Amino acid sequence: MIIPTEPIGSIPRRPELIEALANEDHADPKLAHLYEDAIRDTIERFEATGSPVITDGEQKKYHNFWTYCVHGLANTAPDGFTIPFSAGHNRRMPRLTSGPFRYRIYADSYLDIAMRHASVPVKQAVISPSALSLMYPAEEIPGYSRAEFIDDLLREHETEIRRCLDKGAHKVQIDFTEGRLAIKLDPSGKLLNSFIDLNNLALSRFTPEELTRIGVHTCPGADRDSTHSADVDYAELLPSLFHLKARNFYIALAGEQDRVRVLKIIRAHMQPDQRIFIGVTAPIDPRIESPEEICNCIVEAAQYIPLDQLGTTDDCGFSPFCDDTSTSRDTAFEKIQSRVAGTALALKMIAG
């Protein structure tokens, strides 16, 4: 009997890499050694936490977790969809100006480097089709319909996941942070339902065996110690979330005011073939959770989620946007180490 534990994705970048990215083109070959050093150091520190599954910390995922695959495309403009955060700042997506839609980079290219250095399984996060669907403007692009865009988007997403699976990714995690945000933008639920339908079109392209290595992450966002949708009731999202055809769900929970209420909603709507990784560390909270505190959260969750369907994770990545320095690398790794230790402690307590 085990309780699997996995990270979400990003780790704060090394200061020298952040400084270089602020002054140089991220694709400049002279930055290659900085990326390599950052990834090597991240993996060494990740493995030192005892984490049985790691990531590369998204050290090379420029410009952020949301638009890494399309940043710099010639057929885009910078004035796309705006993501508002509670700290008062915004993040902006590119807007598609013409077809066809193609990724500029696939996430498996990050795996190439990470797996050279790692001695434990590596997972890879990718962005959801629903998030990228927000690139298409409200007015139809002349000569390139929304239907054509969706066909291209689904093909590119499938290609990216297959490339990651083929290269041996332990899991491919689809980042669906816009799920909760969709309720804020459209309380009727129509936007969320359209997101669920679109993502299911993508997931339906994979076999049941492949789906065991695919998961979906949801959270209220994390940037500069703030969120974009923590004020949205999980009860508006979770019943729909579990209609997704993925087999693994990574659900932010540590930052919730009433965790038991959320656990009850999860219990009511989760499916028998779904594993629920609950968030037990809050990346935007500078306080380091103790293993004992994390253990207590897991034991509590085990009262609502069957043990053979329970896992643990972090609420979110620790630095989803590459210029975010609100959390230090040391803090991130300390929290991860506590998650690993707390999960082991909970298993021992439950088994005993």
Instruction: Please report whether residue 156 resides in a domain.
Output: yes
Q: Count structural domains, the chain.
A: 1
Counting every residue, how long is the chain? 352
Mean pLDDT of the chain: 93
Quote the CA–CA distance of 251 and 300 in Å, as a whole number: 15
Instruction: Please report whether residue 3 resides in a domain.
Output: no
Q: Would the pLDDT of 330 be above 90?
A: yes
Looking at residue 230, its pLDDT comes to 83
Q: Would the pLDDT of 22 be above 80?
A: no
Looking at residue 195, its pLDDT comes to 98
Tens-digit pLDDT profile for residues 41-62: 999 999 999 999 999 999 988 7
Instruction: Please report whether residue 291 resides in a domain.
Output: yes
Looking at residue 31, its pLDDT comes to 78
Tens-digit pLDDT profile for residues 261-298: 999 999 999 999 999 999 999 999 999 999 999 999 99
Contact 239, 193 (CB under 8 A): no
Tens-digit pLDDT profile for residues 249-262: 999 999 999 999 99
CATH of the domain at 65: 3.20.20.210
Q: DSSP string of 123-190?
A: -EEEE-HHHHHTTS-SSPBTTB-HHHHHHHHHHHHHHHHHHHHHTT-S-EEEE-THHHHHHHH-TTSH
Looking at residue 41, its pLDDT comes to 95
- Going by pLDDT thresholds of 50, 70 and 90, the confidence category of residue 91 is confident
- Going by pLDDT thresholds of 50, 70 and 90, the confidence category of residue 220 is confident
| Range(s) of the domain holding residue 135 | 15-351
Looking at residue 33, its pLDDT comes to 84
Contact 224, 85 (CB under 8 A): yes
Report the percent of the chain where pLDDT is more than 70.
Answer: 99
Tens-digit pLDDT profile for residues 109-126: 999 999 999 999 999 999
Instruction: Please report whether residue 111 resides in a domain.
Output: yes
Looking at residue 83, its pLDDT comes to 87
CA nearest to 155, candidates 99, 212, 112, 114 = 99
Instruction: Please report whether residue 115 resides in a domain.
Output: yes
- Going by pLDDT thresholds of 50, 70 and 90, the confidence category of residue 19 is confident
Looking at residue 177, its pLDDT comes to 93
Looking at residue 223, its pLDDT comes to 77
- Going by pLDDT thresholds of 50, 70 and 90, the confidence category of residue 90 is confident
Instruction: Please report whether residue 151 resides in a domain.
Output: yes
Are β-strands 76-77 and 95-96 bridged in parallel, bridged antiparallel, or unpaired?
antiparallel
Contact 242, 274 (CB under 8 A): yes
Tracing tokens 């890494």 back to the chain, one arrives at 68
Instruction: Please report whether residue 9 resides in a domain.
Output: no
Q: Would the pLDDT of 199 be above 80?
A: yes
Residue type, 36: E
Higher pLDDT, 133 or 34: 133
Tens-digit pLDDT profile for residues 125-178: 999 999 999 999 999 999 999 999 999 999 999 999 999 999 999 999 999 999
Instruction: Please report whether residue 7 resides in a domain.
Output: no
Which range is least confidently modeled, 197-211, 241-255, 322-336? Answer: 322-336
How many CA atoms, within 13 angstroms, populate the side-chain half-sphere of residue 70?
Answer: 30
